[in-house]
Every structure is written in structure tokens, then in C-alpha cells.
Amino acid sequence: MIEAANNAKKFTETTVGRNCRFTEKIAKSVFFLMTLTMVLPLLLIIGFLFYKAWPALSIDFVLELPKNGMRAGGIWPAFLGTLYLVLISLVIAAPIGVMAAIYLNEYAKENWFTRIINLAVINLAGVPSIVHALFGLGAFVLAAGLGRSVLAASLTLAVMTLPVIIASTKEALSAVPMSFRQASWNMGVSRWQTIRGIVMPNSISGILTGIILQVSRAAGETAPIMFTGVVFYKAIEKGDLLAYGLLDQCMALAMHLYTISTQVPNVPDAVPFATAVLLLGVVLLVNALSIGLRIYLRTHRKW
């Protein structure tokens, strides 16, 4: 009995243990509240947008053309223009950004020149979008002779989002253990074969993260496309998926939302909110596809 009592005392929680457990509960509660402060406002904003937009939300609102001076009808030209701008800028920026990051991380030597390049990439990520807009106006619209067009606006968005893709891709490549590369080199595999068969498959999920951020930013920007290719109104055929050419001007949801909110009088209250919901939906749709692909690739990763 005495021995059993002594053994029980050995496993009795001490004051220090109780204090540590209490501190752990406080820390857990604080972190949970911090998470709520980030998530709850977002949910409230989305809920408010849907509540205000509900009277106007429908399939016809997406597929119809603007009518009555954009006070009625739908947003098909702007919706289609946004898809064009996002997809074309993605096709341009993603390969260039990934290849640049591969060179900087896998081939470039550590010296003053590469340090300057890395610093420039970081600084470019913080440049205001209006500066990119003026650059696109001078470089693509005027100097390259593209005029105000879908291609000029897409190139401007691509330049604006390149730093994010380069930085995130470089971080993803750096996360692959060096031992993977060394094992491949010791087997006589070339550097490019190692990158293509070992490094890239194991870093693709991180690369897609940068592309997801690019899509979100490109879809919501207004200043770069306002200066380089987006117009107040563009007449196209209803449901025509090939309505815009590369050298044509186009409409975009971000610009359309700004226009009907500030420049067009007597617009029904639900229309701007419905446009905002559709813009948010485009971003979430493309992001969801990218996240789904990233999850699939991550679950099939080799390490």
C-alpha cells in the first residue's frame, strides 16, 4: 500500500505542469481568436456582397450584354475580357517566371550580379500598379506599336506579376533537398535532367502557389489595363467566346465595376454588387482549379 501510494505521487501533476498546461490553453485561445479576426471579416464581406447582389444574380446576368447605358442587362463582354486578360498574361508570365527562377536557383553563381537581380525582383514586387501601367503604356502601347489592345494589357499584367512568380518558384526550388540533386549527379545524370526529373516534380506545388497569386492579382487590377487596353464599352455578340482579337480593345470586370459605380448614374443597387461577386467568382474559380491541381501533385510527390 505504501509503495503504491509513493508510485502514485510520482505521477501527480506538479504546479509547474499545471502552469504550463494553463499557459498552453491561453496560447491556443489567443491563436484561435487571431484566426477568427482574419476569417470572420472575410466571411462577413462575402456574405454582405451576396446579400446585396442576390436580386441581380442569374445566368442571364453573366451571358447578357449591357443595356440601357449599362444600367440593365448583363456583363458578358466584361466577363469574357477578364478571362482573356488573365489567361493570356498567365501564358506569358508563368513560363518566363519559372525559367528565370530555375536559372537563378540552379545555374547562376552567387556573386554581386545575381544579388542585384534578386534584389531587383524583390523590389519589383512592391512597385505600385500605376507605375506598371505607365510602363505598359510607354513600352507596349507606344514603343512596340501594339496600341491599346488585349495583348498590350496582358503584357503589362504579365510584367507586373512576374516578380511574384519568380520569387515563389525560387523558394519552391530551394526547398528541394540538395541531397536529391547530389544523388542524381552521382549517377551521371546531367544538371538539366536532374532539374526536369527530380527538382521540378518535387517543387511543382510551390510553383503553382505563385501562379495562383498571379491570377488573383491580375484579375483584380484596374490601373494597368485602364491605360493599355480596356475601354468603357465594347459591343460584341452574346455568347461569342472568340469575340476579342489580340489587337482589339476589350472590357474587364474590374474596370466595369469602377465605371458603373462612379460614372453611370441611376444604376440599380444590386448591379455593382453582382459585378463584384462575379469578379470574386472568377478569381475563386481559377484559384480553385490551381489549388486542386496543386493538391493532386502534392499527394503524388515522391518525398
Query: What pLDDT sits at residue 154?
Result: 92
CA distance 286 to 212: 8
pLDDT band for position 292 (cuts 50, 70, 90): confident
CA distance 217 to 157: 9
The tens digit of pLDDT for each residue in 235-274 reads 888 777 888 989 999 999 888 888 888 888 888 888 899 9
Where do the H-state alpha helices sit in 129-269? 129-136, 150-174, 178-186, 191-194, 200-220, 223-228, 253-262
Q: Quote the percentage of the chain above a pLDDT of 70.
A: 94
The tens digit of pLDDT for each residue in 122-175 reads 888 788 888 989 999 999 999 999 999 999 999 999 999 888 889 889 988 988
CA distance 176 to 187: 18
- Backbone φ and ψ of 72, nearest 5°: -145, -175
- Contacts of residue 245, defined as CB under 8 A and 6 or more positions apart, other chains included, come to 150
CA distance 215 to 74: 24
CA distance 262 to 61: 20
- Encoded amino acid at 218, one letter: A
- Encoded amino acid at 112, one letter: W
Contact by Cβ (8 Å): 162, 124: yes
Contact by Cβ (8 Å): 223, 66: no
